[in-house]
Structure formats: C-alpha cells, structure tokens
Amino acid sequence: MVLLRSPLHDRHLALGAKLAEFGGWEMPLEYAGGGVLAEHKAVREGVGVFDVSHLGKAVVRGPGAVDFVNGCFTADLGRIGPGQAQYTMCCDADGGVVDDLIAYVRSGDDVFLMPNAANTADVVSRLAAAAPAGIEVVDQHRDFAVLAVQGPQSGQVLDRLGVAADAGYMSFATQQIEGQALTVCRTGYTGERGYELVVAAGAVLAVWDAVIEAGGPVSPRACGLGARDTLRTEMGYPLHGNDLSTEISPVMARAGWAVGWAKPAFWGKEALEAQRAAGEVRLSRGLLAGGRGIPRPGMEVQDAGGTVIGSVTSGTFSPTLRKGIALALLDPDVALDAEVFVDVRGRQEAFTVVKPPFVDPSTR
Amino acid sequence: MFPADLTYTPGHEWVRVDGDTATVGITDYAQEQLGDIVFVSLPQVGDSVEAGSVIGELESTKSVSDLFAPIAGEVLVRNEALEANPELVNSDPYGEGWLVKMRVHDDDATAGLMDAQAYEASLTQ
C-alpha cells in the first residue's frame, strides 16, 4: 500500500523524524534530539506541536445538517451551539463503534467532522447513504492540514502569533496566522491546555514555520505521534482500534457520557440501551503497575487465582508516573482498587484497578 | 562511527574483552532504533549463558526487544544503575549504558563477531 503523506513531510524529514504508519499515512513517530520521553515532557510542562494532518476532515452541509448528524452520532448536539465542538461516536446498528470523532458546529446547516484517518471513508459513506435530499457529505481529507499546539504554554504561542487564545474549551473560531485563514479550536488529545489549527493544505507550511519559530521561551518542540499516544493514555482517552471498535461499544468503554441517551434516535441506540440494561459486558478500567511491568495491548488480565478476567486494550509506560499503565476491559464484577495480574510475556506482574485519568488533566 | 576497540554481533550488541572479562552492551544504532528505553531486564549474576540465548529484555516506550548473549560465559555483574536510569542505554550506550559483564572461558570467544568496520558495513546492506 502506498502511504499518504502530510504536506509537512519534508519539514519532518529536515527535523530528523522517525516515521511510522498511522491509518494509511506516513507520519512522525518521534524527532531526532527528542524522543517520546522528551516530547511528552515538553507537552506536560511547556508546549509541543504535533502534525496530525492524517486525521480525517469532512463536512456535512445543507438545511438541517446539525439535526441530521444528531440523528446519526451518539452525543447530543443540542447541548452545543455554533462555534462549539463535541466529542461523539459513529456506531453501527449493533452498538459497535465505527469511529469516534469531533463534530464542529459551524451553523445549523454546516457541521465539520474530524474522524480518525483510517475510518474517514467509512464514516463519510455511512453519512452519505443516510443523508436526505438537500444534505451533502463531502470528504475533505486531503484538503486540510491539522496542527495540534498543546501544553501549558500553548496560549502564549498563539498570543505571539497574534491569535486570540482565550476561547473556551471545545470552542473554535476562524483566525489568521501569517495572513493564512485557519480555524483555531480549543481541542486536543493530550490532557493539557491546547489548540488544534485546521489549515488549508496549501497554506500549512507558513503556519508550521511560524509556530515552530515562535521563538523565545515559548518555542514549541516538534512532537511525534509516539508522545501523543503516551499523553492520551495517561488521560485514559480511548484510541479507536484499541479501546473502541466495532467489538467494543461506548458502554464497554465507559464512554456513556458521550451518548445522548435521551435523544429519540441515533445509530445503535436500541442495541446500546439493551447492553447497558443487561450489565453483562466487560467494562473499561485503568490498570496501574505495582512493579516494573509494562502492559501492552492484547495481554491477558488475571485474578490472584489465575482466572482470566480481562484483557489490555492500550498499555504503555507512563513518562509522568514512570510506571506501566493500561486501559483494560475487565469482567463487570472486578472492583476498583482490586489487585490483578497482567501476563507480561510469561511474568505475572501486579497491577491495581483504577479509574482513569492516571494524571490530572489541565485542559481548561 | 562505531568504537574500534569493540566487536559486534548482527543483533547490534557490542562486546569489550579485557582479560577473561567481557562487557556487553547494545550499539548506538540499536538504541536509536529502539527509542527511549524505559525498562531493562538482565540475567542474574551467576547465570551461565550460551551464545545467542535470550538473557533479557530492553523495553522502550513503544516496544520490547529481546537481549541476546553475544558470547557464552558466566554473568559476573549486572549494571544495576539501569534499574533507576534505563535511559543511560540511550545516552551513553558504550559507557555508562553497558548491560552486563561476563566471564569468558574461551580465549577465542569473540572470533565469530564483527569488527567496527564490518558492523558498519552490515548496517548499509
């Protein structure tokens, strides 16, 4: 398969990026002179910039676009207005998660979507198939680049670039950097205060350069998707394909907060209501290492007697805690604070069942 | 690029022999490929190991790799500093980031290994 590349590909090569495949795109994993730990720390303590142009972009527009999307995806768009964004999920009829994504309401007739790279085509085709006459669904995956400026000093970077940084969490507005129009969103996937900049693909070089060369004490470090993964895992944010999938529903992932249960309809509603009422499925929890074991996706979770009670969906080393952390699906009767064991390549490593986040978020 | 006083394995370990003691580590190329190392598991002191056998693990933020014994011998010392500071393997792979010291029984223990030039050439093949 030929991998797609960001319009910033040459910039990444110049920065010595180690590249890896993400959802069909060849993207930076980490940069020379940095590495996951240094990049993670930059975002927790200063500011980092990620190229996340592989993320999908699509628009649903036409009379009643918001109402149409609201009848498809899980979250209740009635809770936000124009200029606000919302985390939501696209489920199938069985309640499995086709994708989790952010919906940006530009007006009642215009909703911008940011799905995961690998799922964009699927989400777009499901919406297009369901759309009534007058509503169009357009895949804009290659039309825009996305930069995520994240960290406690991210607001100062935007200030320096002459961009208003005072928007509320999950709000967005059109602004300019270097004369280029872009959408600045107070969103992110790191647990820190941060902004995502949606820029026309042809204009992103100037914006990237301006952000990277902001200079002074608040010059952001270029950060790769390796650090993005450790940052999001510390927050307990799910990753589609690991912690959410067509086999792992919002109920199982404990993402019911992103489901508008009172809405008259959304895809998968009946199946999810039945699953929630039955209470038989495995549920997501956090696991915090007692020792030095680092859990990885797919590893079995056992109780003290050796009975398998679940499996790891995401697992890594937490750079902040300097311990192994995991998200795991566990049998519903496994209690918080219980001691469980993860089979780490034949070693039984002890973990405590916890409620994520593992590190306090500072998004607001 | 690679220290000339060491010998190397195709699996990116290096060996420094001093009398009947061999110090073992991984190369700069290997640490670069692995990324930030966050956990190092080493054999027990006193273990007798065969050349090519798995004697430990190097785990980075993203993945885990087996550590292979480059030569046969008995484990004399483990680098205990790596318990608290596994990143030494990244920052100083030929110095403070060494992994184990072994007693070698065979004068010719490193005979099958590569010199620096051959190792460097093997990386570009």
For B3-31, what is each residue's pLDDT tens digit? 999 999 999 999 999 999 999 999 999 99
The alpha carbon of residue A52 and the mean position of all alpha carbons in its chain are separated, in whole angstroms, by 10
Instruction: Mark residue A298 as left, alpha or beta (left: phi above 0; alpha: psi -120 to 50; beta: remaining).
Output: left
Residue A307 buriedness (CB in 10 A; 0-12 / 13-18 / 19+): exposed
Pairwise CB contact (< 8 Å): A18 & B38: no
B113 occurs within a structural domain: no
Instruction: Mark residue A300 as left, alpha or beta (left: phi above 0; alpha: psi -120 to 50; beta: remaining).
Output: beta
Distance from CA of B18 to the nearest CA of A (A): 33
- Tokens 């099958």 -> residue: B112
Q: Are B37 and B48 in contact (CB under 8 A)?
A: no
CB-nearest partner of B61 from A18, A226, A292: A226
B96 occurs within a structural domain: yes
Pairwise CB contact (< 8 Å): B57 & A226: no
Q: Which pLDDT band holds residue A147 (cuts at 50, 70, 90)?
A: very high
| Portion 324-353 of A in contact with B at CB < 8 A | 345
pLDDT surpasses 90 at A153: yes
Give the total number of structural domains in chain B.
1
- % helix, strand, coil for chain B, step of 5: 20, 35, 45
For residues A337 and A210, give the distance between their C-alpha atoms in angstroms, rounded to a whole number: 47
Mean pLDDT of chain A: 96
Mean pLDDT of chain B: 94
B45 occurs within a structural domain: yes
Q: A10: how many CB neighbours lie within 10 A of its CB?
A: 11
State the residue range of the domain holding B17. 7-106
For residues A63 and A135, give the distance between their C-alpha atoms in angstroms, rounded to a whole number: 7
Q: Are B47 and B55 in contact (CB under 8 A)?
A: yes
Pairwise CB contact (< 8 Å): B61 & A36: yes
Q: Which pLDDT band holds residue A164 (cuts at 50, 70, 90)?
A: confident
Residues found in chain A: 364
* Percent of chain A residues past pLDDT 90, beyond the cut: 93
Nearest-by-CA chain A residue for B85: A322
For A15-28, what is each residue's pLDDT tens digit? 999 999 999 999 99
For residues A267 and A240, give the distance between their C-alpha atoms in angstroms, rounded to a whole number: 17
B29 occurs within a structural domain: yes
Residues of A in contact with B39 (CB under 8 A): 292, 294, 317
Instruction: Mark residue A191 as left, alpha or beta (left: phi above 0; alpha: psi -120 to 50; beta: remaining).
Output: left
For residues A106 and A113, give the distance between their C-alpha atoms in angstroms, rounded to a whole number: 10
B49 occurs within a structural domain: yes
Contacts of A91 (CB under 8 A, 6+ apart): A73, A74, A97, A98, A249, A250, A266, A267, A268, A271, A272
B115 occurs within a structural domain: no
Q: Which pLDDT band holds residue A215 (cuts at 50, 70, 90)?
A: low
For residues A283 and B20, give the distance between their C-alpha atoms in angstroms, rounded to a whole number: 56
Q: What mean pLDDT do residues A31-45 have?
A: 96
B80 occurs within a structural domain: yes
Distance from CA of A42 to the nearest CA of B (A): 15
Nearest-by-CA chain B residue for A291: B39
pTM of the full structure:
0.94
For B52-89, what is each residue's pLDDT tens digit? 999 999 999 988 999 999 999 999 999 999 999 999 99
B123 occurs within a structural domain: no
- % helix, strand, coil for chain A, step of 5: 25, 35, 40
Q: Which two tokens stand for residue B28?
A: 């700069």
The mean-pLDDT minimum among A31-45, A84-98, A156-170 falls in A156-170
Q: Which of A46, A37, A53, A27 is nearest to A362 (CA)?
A: A46
What integer pLDDT is reported at residue A253 of this predicted model?
A: 98
CB-nearest partner of A230 from B39, B59, B61: B61
What integer pLDDT is reported at residue A216 of this predicted model?
A: 64
For A184-205, what is each residue's pLDDT tens digit? 999 999 999 999 999 999 999 9
- Residues in B lying within 8 Å of A, measured between beta carbons: 35-36, 38-39, 57, 59-62, 64, 87, 90
pLDDT surpasses 80 at A177: yes
Pairwise CB contact (< 8 Å): A294 & B64: yes
Q: Which two tokens stand for residue A336?
A: 């918080």
Q: Which two tokens stand for residue A68?
A: 């149409």
Question: Which ipTM score applies to this complex?
Answer: 0.85
Pairwise CB contact (< 8 Å): A30 & B35: yes
DSSP B42-79: -PPTT-EE-TT-EEEEEEESS-EEEEE-SS-EEEEEE-
Query: Domain containing B94 — which CATH number?
Result: 2.40.50.100
For residues B48 and A255, give the distance between their C-alpha atoms in angstroms, rounded to a whole number: 51
Q: What does each C-alpha distance from B92 to A6, A319, B6, B32, B87 come to in angstroms? A: 34, 20, 15, 11, 9
- Domains of chain A by range and CATH? 4-56+143-235 (3.30.1360.120), 58-139 (3.30.70.1400), 282-354 (2.40.30.110)
Residues of A in contact with B64 (CB under 8 A): 294, 296, 345
Q: What mean pLDDT do residues A276-284 have?
A: 96
* Percent of chain A residues past pLDDT 70, beyond the cut: 99
Contacts of A212 (CB under 8 A, 6+ apart): A49, A219, A220, A222
